[in-house]
Amino acid sequence: MGFKIAVLPGDGIGPEVVKEAVSVLQAVAPGFEYEEALIGGAAYDEVGHPLPAATLALCKRADAILLGAVGGPKWDHVQPVEMRPEVGALLPLRSELNLYANLRPARIFSALKEASPLKEPEIDLIVVRELTGGIYFGKPRERREGGDVAVDTCVYSKAEIRRIAIRGFEIARQRRKSLVSVDKANVLETSRLWREVVAEVAGDFPDVKLEFMLVDNCAMQLVRNPGAFDVILTENMFGDILSDEAAQITGSLGMLPSASLSDNKGLYEPAHGSAPDIAGQGIANPLATILSAAMMLKYSFGMDAEAATVEGAVEKTLADGVRTRDLGGEASTSEMGSAVVSRLYL
């Protein structure tokens, strides 16, 4: 139980929501060791770099990382661009730690159904997005000086596809055993390779139902019948877009957790940003970060029972009508956090 957790509060509401998530972890799984470090604009201001060497070293030493959020208007124009919080901290952290699998669950808690823009929302899905390959990392990329042509290259190897596909199938096996692999195989060569490898991996998971779907169709089906999805497996850019679409149909940005995993480490953070418009007011919703901590218990430490305890406490808290401002209530960040802690063992 002596796991070490790197705590990176970051900017804006990051420190406020991370504090509540740590309280929940301390209550449900005593005995973890926590070490805090600077990241993002806060780190840039203090030591001149958004991802200080000491922070990266801590992340490498730690068993798991809990991150708040980085960025804000104060650092939007920092030069060079590599010193801006998102570019200089998040991207290098992902690549340095080889966090190739991004998990973005989108779920509607029954007490919050009215928040969804859909009429009869039954949503409990997870997007498994490849995070370190594809068009975001392909070279060469080029914009001819003063010219009309720009080039980005989408590259995937079989090994990159195989490891994310295995993750997707393993997760599907723990859920409702249904996986939709999303691509654009009618147009893209990388998508045809993607299909080939996913079909191969499927052979090792005969208990999981596999369906291939084109990304444009998936975007439509997510709005039309989101309840039909269990696990959506996809590459980097499609996953970026589809996970935000899935987030939007739940209607509550303050509720959505995420995990980014390597083979032996995980970084856990809310799907939302640093919300500078409400930072420092004590009104941010900490549930996305608390649910990210629950993902840490499950995916980094195999503590499925404790993860379910946290999710159950969140559910009870909402059912009892406790709401932060974004959910139409009056509860403060710390009141929401305490409400969850007090319901852990009810």
Residues belonging to the active site? 136, 184, 216, 240, 244
235 or 269: CB nearest ligand NAD: 269
232 touches ligand NAD (CB under 6 A)? no
274 touches ligand NAD (CB under 6 A)? yes
284 touches ligand NAD (CB under 6 A)? yes
Tell me the residue nearest to ligand NAD as measured from the CB.
273
Q: Which of 160, 240, 311, 326 binds ligand NAD (CB under 6 A)?
A: 326
Pairing assessment for the beta strands 64-69 and 266-270 based on DSSP bridges:
parallel
Size of the site for ligand NAD (CB under 6 A): 22
Q: Residue with structure tokens 């060079």? A: 80
Q: Which of 15, 226, 254, 257 binds ligand NAD (CB under 6 A)?
A: 254
84 touches ligand NAD (CB under 6 A)? no
339 touches ligand NAD (CB under 6 A)? no
Q: Which of 69, 215, 218, 341 binds ligand NAD (CB under 6 A)?
A: 69
Backbone φ, ψ for residue 200 (5° rounding)? -65, -50
Strand partners, 104: 127
Q: Which of 127, 253, 314, 340 binds ligand NAD (CB under 6 A)?
A: 253
Non-local CB neighbours of 273 within 8 Å, separated by 6+ positions: 12, 69, 71
- Tokens representing 52 are 């200080």
260 touches ligand NAD (CB under 6 A)? no
- In whole angstroms, how far apart are CA 227 and each of 107, 124, 126, 248? 10, 7, 11, 14
311 touches ligand NAD (CB under 6 A)? no
| DSSP-assigned letters across all residues of 257-298 | EEEEE-SS-EEEEESS---TTTTTTT----HHHHHHHHHHHH
Q: What is the CA radius of gyration of the chain?
A: 20
Q: Which of 161, 273, 299, 306 binds ligand NAD (CB under 6 A)?
A: 273
Q: Which long-range contacts (CB under 8 A, 24 or more apart) does 222-225 make?
A: 222/246, 222/249, 223/118, 223/249
Q: Is 331 helix (H, G, I), strand (E, B) or coil?
A: strand
Binding residues for ligand NAD restricted to 95-154, rule: CB under 6 A? none
330 touches ligand NAD (CB under 6 A)? no
Q: Which of 9, 71, 121, 133 binds ligand NAD (CB under 6 A)?
A: 71
94 or 229: CB nearest ligand NAD: 94
What is the binding site for ligand NAD (CB under 6 A)?
A: 13, 17, 69-72, 86, 90, 253-254, 269, 272-278, 284-285, 288, 326
